[in-house]
């Protein structure tokens, strides 16, 4: 069922709406404040299967949040919230690599680190180090033979 959350509701009233909602319900609102309160209510009430939508004046969805159990999320073909956190951490590490002058080069199933000043085409540099990727890195060449 689709329900609209009025702009003047308090946080406790929004929590009541979330608590009364059933799995599959879609809660819509027009204000960012209501949307953020609704997201907090989804978490606080541990609501499962409810979608919250922030709409613009033309009824287009600007933002959307859905509540699911982590166990349901991991079976999807999308990243879980924990996996997205790991990816963000990896991106930060890669920024640090660039800042500190470390370049990463992928060769088949190997990931190699070497100082930025060296030519990446110089494959056998004495300064290059193989990065232990714990089998998380797969080169595109190795995927073709699957």
Joined tokens for residue 46: 């541990």
Residue 35's φ and ψ, nearest 5 degrees, are -60, -45
**Residues 6 and 33 sit within 8 Å (Cβ to Cβ):** no
- CA-to-CA separations, 71 to 1, 4, 39, 75, 143, in angstroms, rounded: 24, 29, 19, 7, 28
Identify the CA nearest to 26 among candidates 53, 47, 62, 58.
Answer: 53
Distance CA 143, CA 146 (A): 6
Cα 106 from chain centroid (whole Å)? 25
The label of the residue with tokens 């500190």 reads 100
DSSP sequence for 97-135: HHHTTEEEEEETTEEEEEETTS-TT-TT-TT-EE---TT
Tell me 27's DSSP state: E
Joined tokens for residue 53: 């939508």
Its pTM surpasses 0.75: no
Give me the tens of pLDDT residue by residue for the chain, a chain 146 residues long.
899 999 999 999 999 999 999 989 999 999 999 999 999 999 888 888 899 999 988 888 888 888 776 665 555 567 777 888 888 899 999 999 999 999 888 877 788 888 887 776 665 667 778 888 888 888 776 666 55
**Residues 81 and 55 sit within 8 Å (Cβ to Cβ):** no
Give the SS3 label for residue 53: strand
Distance CA 45, CA 33 (A): 18
């Amino acid at each position: 069922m689709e329900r609209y959350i009025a702009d003047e509701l308090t946080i406790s009233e929004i929590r009541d709406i979330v608590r009364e909602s059933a799995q599959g319900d879609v809660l819509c609102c027009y204000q960012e404040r209501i949307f953020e309160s609704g997201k907090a209510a989804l978490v606080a009430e541990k609501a499962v299967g409810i979608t919250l939508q922030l709409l613009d004046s033309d009824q287009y969805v600007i933002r959307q949040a859905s509540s699911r159990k982590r166990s349901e999320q991991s079976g999807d073909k999308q990243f879980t919230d924990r996996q997205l956190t790991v990816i963000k951490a990896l991106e930060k590490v890669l920024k640090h690599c660039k800042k500190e002058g470390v370049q990463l080069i992928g060769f088949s199933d190997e990931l190699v680190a070497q100082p930025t000043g060296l030519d990446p085409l110089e494959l056998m540099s004495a300064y290059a180090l193989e990065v232990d990727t714990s089998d998380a890195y797969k080169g595109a060449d190795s995927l073709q033979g699957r």
